[in-house]
Amino acid sequence: MGERSVKLLVMATMLEAKPFVSGLGLEQLCEKPFLVFKNAHQVLIISGIGKTHAAGAACYGFLGFSPKTVINIGAAGALDTKHPAGAIYQADKIIEHDRPDIFSGKPVFHSPDQMDGIDTAVLATGDRPVIAPEDRKRLSALAELVDMEAASVVQTCRTLNVPCHVFKIISDDPGHTAGTDIVYNIKIFRQKLFDFYNASILPKLD
């Protein structure tokens, strides 16, 4: 596959990715099987929502572009009120709360790569949205944030032996119970996430 030379970003939706496409000067490369944008040093794949989509996108990106590192970046929900909307964290541990280990019965967990100087949080990944306050409270015993993709991206990267970092901006907390709240907040905070990537993450990857 040649020398690994590019950074691969995996994002769930174009809603989150819009500032990245414009800010990085990315050109659309293809629409199927995934929507892909590229410049000389970075590839952005829109995976779609959910673990299967995320794993497929990460594998497709690895096989097609031989990245030197993979970054899963996007929105996540907070499971408590200690992590406010608009705050950005890197995941230091990811728990698949809906996938128990076949032998122990405990949730499967993954360990992404880490960067110094960035706040960390434990992230839960599952295929079912966790929005209702009672569901968030129940899951808060295991994690602080929740999404629907990160665990699969990290597992795929570990299988393919490529570094993987996970960064999430809080789009909703227990006070947000409607999908429209999440969309609204993503639109508000997505530029902040890109600015953080450009200023605080990208220089550490070079």
Convert the pLDDT of each residue in 95-150 to its tens digit. 998 777 777 777 889 999 999 999 999 999 999 888 888 999 999 999 999 999 99
Q: What is the pLDDT of residue 43?
A: 97
Number of residues that this document lists for the chain: 206
Contact 86, 130 (CB under 8 A): no
Q: Could you tell me the CA-to-CA distances from 28 to 21, 156, 187 in Å, in that order?
A: 9, 24, 21
Burial class of residue 116, CB neighbours in 10 A (0-12, 13-18, 19+): exposed
Which of 206, 201, 189 shows the shortest CA–CA distance to 77? 189
Q: What is the pLDDT of residue 13?
A: 98
Please report which confidence band the pLDDT of residue 81 belongs to, taking 50, 70 and 90 as the band edges.
confident
Sign of CA dihedral 123, 47, 20, 162: positive
Buried b (16+ CB within 10 A) or exposed e, 11-20: bbbebbbbbb
Query: Greatest CA span in the chain, whole angstroms?
Result: 49
Q: 99-113: per-residue pLDDT in tens?
A: 777 777 778 899 999
| 194: Cα within 13 Å, side-chain hemisphere | 20
State pTM to two decimals.
0.93
**More confident: 4 or 78:** 78
Mean pLDDT of 39-48: 96
Q: What is the pLDDT of residue 131?
A: 84
Q: What is the pLDDT of residue 2?
A: 41
Q: What is the pLDDT of residue 97?
A: 83
Q: What is the pLDDT of residue 100?
A: 74
For the cut 90, the answer to whether the pLDDT of residue 56 exceeds it is yes
Q: Beta strand pairing status for 42-46 and 7-11? A: parallel
Please report which confidence band the pLDDT of residue 178 belongs to, taking 50, 70 and 90 as the band edges.
low
Q: What percent of the chain has pLDDT over 70?
A: 96
For the cut 70, the answer to whether the pLDDT of residue 4 exceeds it is no
For the cut 50, the answer to whether the pLDDT of residue 198 exceeds it is yes
Arithmetic mean of pLDDT over the chain: 92
**More confident: 129 or 55:** 55
Between CA 95 and CA 46 the distance in angstroms is 22
Contact 67, 4 (CB under 8 A): yes
